[in-house]
Structure 1
């Protein structure tokens, strides 16, 4: 229905232009001007389409190209399986589930199933009965006094500042409606995060929201915020895949007065988080910090997030867990393919272990030290589809997060303007003229829909695999090519 309305408007626009040309000059000019003014007012005040709210009339050109331009796109721009960092097929998958449009795909697979990078899942000729409700995972080890029941799919870390106030509100309302968690990112907790959704408060190297004037960790400020009812878990950010070993970057153009006050930094300046933490400098210090945050938060689940670089450093952390008896409740594993609003290109492209290898290494190392039973693994790199979730859980993850998937559900069009404050969809900007295009009352529903529908897809895959529960999932179900032969990950 919505696509029909869009097509009708574009067809009417073309018709009016043609009529205007025929009866040109004066009558046609008047007809054209009146029509464009009416169309512009309609675009400006409708709430469904961000691009049209922000770019009245001319925004229809984009939709026109979408409708008449598949061949132009295919032969002269990019194929549906190209496009970086997220190809068109994956973007369409997310949009369709967020808008609850057609969720089937015509004419068969577009992937090269003989490509060396192709992965596939084993199915059973005796499918299991599909679960009626998606399973949940309890996060919290023996030292945790307030364990949390998590959805297997959630909103990954994105800060207020990196995203707009409207985007943060819509994400949190979507999380509330869908009963899944919203990771705050390292930028602190803003009022826009407090719409009723469950929060994972991420503490980065800048300690935003719990820092002294000198930028050190402030225990009392942390205690006050960590014991908020909205905060369900605490995540210490050691590093992220898009820029491991570098620290977060908030460009001056996005650092307005409100954001600066939340973070405790000067406004209108580049905010560069330190590359490492000042609260600890080794494995034992990290675990002592985990324990400190657990005590200050009255026993809420505490974990840490990292992109793997040195395997030996992670092994040392595991050795110290065994030695001290201090264990995090969860570990979030990021990969080198992770997303970011701003990062130096060398860090983004060449630093850190790729996601799949990092996840397998962390899971296997925890098993080797007999630690995995108490520690849940969250993973968050390019999780867009139900198969992505299925694969991650088979490889050993317990919970999946998505950042860019949720941005696309909000209406992101991958304009690649995240670091300029010029995002045309109002998602990754603080420019009020662009933020207004993102209507919170409409977009939170798309976040909820995306979450709901991707989990429905996941349950169908789980059924097709013959599994009756998450516990039956393992690496035998996923295949990759090794030396030109198909082998499972087991």
Structure 2
């Protein structure tokens, strides 16, 4: 017995040095990494710290406003709104007021709350967290059920898309909805939580992304914008060509309120490990095959052909059809708007980015007499009420949000969305990893986040001295240059 114990002790003592020696020899003789050939141990530590770099920077080294693509403050603002339905901060703003940026001008005599045009007639039943204890080593909180006001637009302020040109116009009672996020890029639990949470909030919508419409998008009673990308997922035949019949089936669904057409300049990508049998069935592709969708449609080559294709979709489906654009070459945009103006029967939804592009296109549409017939969706890091208000004032009719909603179904910005190894079960189709995501709990956070945004938007509306967020305009926005000079947007 003593001999056995001595042998075991010897093995325990010698195992680590032997392992280190093995790793040293292996790295010393490998050919791929120069630093490991000369410094096997230090080189291994270097790669370990490099691998942990994003987490170290996010939690230890960057201040609350530095991280990209979203700072710690931006992330927490979205999560706290969903978890506690709160936007209260302590002590004061951490914004750098010496830097350039957009600001909403407040009125000397703001609008009283009872003067605002809000529809809070029907309450929304949800769950929110209440904090009991928050110390360095302990954190306790509990869920409570609450009936909250939805902060919907009144009937007179409702945004109507395709009012004069579509058999079935789209009525939007809120100004904020979900931007394009595909099933496949996100797992079924994340899509389900988003659908149920948005449906519970009411007055909002979810964009399916180019991955097409899945059963999970339809889990909640939420309005759907069904997106069609260049790969035509879900509306194509076996050869990948556009299928009128498949398109008719999708557009005939009552929850589908509008259709959107868009493409990425780099094309789309989904790793084969994410393409399950279910995703393959929905997208009409092969199981396990990596998908690289084109960066443009082959169905049209000119502005006139583009508008003709959109008109075809609108005529078949009877619902509004939108164009998703990134404004780069201003001459191209001018040419497109000019073609729209001559294409008198077209009146659809247009999705565009913010700041420089948004006021430019807003003005361009006014000059060509199209502004009343086209609705502008703005998107691009608009995850808090102040950013939404600025976008609306710059010319947007409606706003799309993706990341703020992802945060509220559990995203921690691990930045491994493309690998199918999302540690919190959001951007993965792996059932084991999706176990982390509790659909019911996350759906309530989605509800709280959207309603909190709408409530904050009405607070800013009152501060600006108007009665509805639909009345925010460029006269309410100022831009501060880095040198302190102020520019009025309407000038």
Number of the residue aligned with 1:326: 345
**Rg larger in 1 or in 2?**
2
Q: Map of 1:184-333 to 2, 5 A cutoff?
A: 184-195=208-219, 196-237=221-262, 239=263, 244-297=264-317, 299-333=318-352
Q: Is 2:85–2:452's contact at 8 Å kept on the other side of the alignment?
A: no
Return the alpha-carbon distance in structure 2 between the equivalents of residues 471 and 187 of structure 1: 32
Please, which of 179, 182, 199 is the counterpart of residue 176 of structure 1? Answer: 199
Q: Is 2:212–2:227's contact at 8 Å kept on the other side of the alignment?
A: yes
Q: Within the alignment, does 1:146 sit opposite 2:171 as a pair?
A: no
Q: Is the partner of 1:419 in helix, strand or coil?
A: helix
Please, which of 68, 75, 78 is the counterpart of residue 91 of structure 1? Answer: 75
Return the alpha-carbon distance in structure 1 between the equivalents of residues 343 and 108 of structure 2: 48
Q: Within the alignment, does 1:77 sit opposite 2:54 as a pair?
A: no
Q: Which runs of 5+ in 2 are unaligned?
A: 1-55, 120-151
Number of the residue aligned with 1:433: 432
Q: Map of 1:111-126 to 2, 5 A cutoff?
A: 111-116=95-100, 118-126=101-109
Q: Is the partner of 2:225 in helix, strand or coil?
A: strand
Number of the residue aligned with 2:376: 377
Return the alpha-carbon distance in structure 2 between the equivalents of residues 164 and 128 of structure 1: 43
Number of the residue aligned with 1:419: 418
Return the alpha-carbon distance in structure 2 between the equivalents of residues 149 and 74 of structure 1: 41
Quote how far apart the aligned CAs of 1:129 are. 2.4
Q: Is 1:205–1:275's contact at 8 Å kept on the other side of the alignment?
A: yes
Q: Is the partner of 2:193 in helix, strand or coil?
A: helix
Quote how far apart the aligned CAs of 1:125 are. 2.3
Quote how far apart the aligned CAs of 1:254 are. 1.4
Q: Is 1:144–1:329's contact at 8 Å kept on the other side of the alignment?
A: no
Q: Is the partner of 1:307 in helix, strand or coil?
A: coil
Q: TM-score, normalised by structure 2?
A: 0.77
Q: Is 1:169–1:440's contact at 8 Å kept on the other side of the alignment?
A: yes
How many equivalent pairs are there?
A: 392
Q: Which runs of 5+ in 1 are unaligned?
A: 1-71, 335-354
Return the alpha-carbon distance in structure 2 between the equivalents of residues 76 and 95 of structure 1: 20
Return the alpha-carbon distance in structure 2 between the equivalents of residues 167 and 470 of structure 1: 30
Quote how far apart the aligned CAs of 1:253 are. 2.2
Q: Is the partner of 2:418 in helix, strand or coil?
A: coil
Quote how far apart the aligned CAs of 1:74 are. 9.7
Number of the residue aligned with 2:87: 103
Return the alpha-carbon distance in structure 2 between the equivalents of residues 451 and 209 of structure 1: 28
Return the alpha-carbon distance in structure 1 between the equivalents of residues 396 and 92 of structure 2: 30
245-254 or 85-94, larger mean C-alpha shift? 245-254
Quote how far apart the aligned CAs of 1:75 are. 9.8
Return the alpha-carbon distance in structure 2 between the equivalents of residues 381 and 326 of structure 1: 30
Cα gap change, 1:168/1:74 in structure 2, threshold over 3 Å: closer, same or farther?
closer
150-159 or 72-81, larger mean C-alpha shift? 72-81
Q: Is the partner of 1:202 in helix, strand or coil?
A: strand
Return the alpha-carbon distance in structure 2 between the equivalents of residues 282 and 102 of structure 1: 48
Quote how far apart the aligned CAs of 1:140 are. 1.4
User: Alpha carbon RMSD of aligned pairs, Å?
Assistant: 1.7
Q: Is 2:86–2:452's contact at 8 Å kept on the other side of the alignment?
A: no
Quote how far apart the aligned CAs of 1:329 are. 1.9
Q: Is 2:273–2:420's contact at 8 Å kept on the other side of the alignment?
A: yes
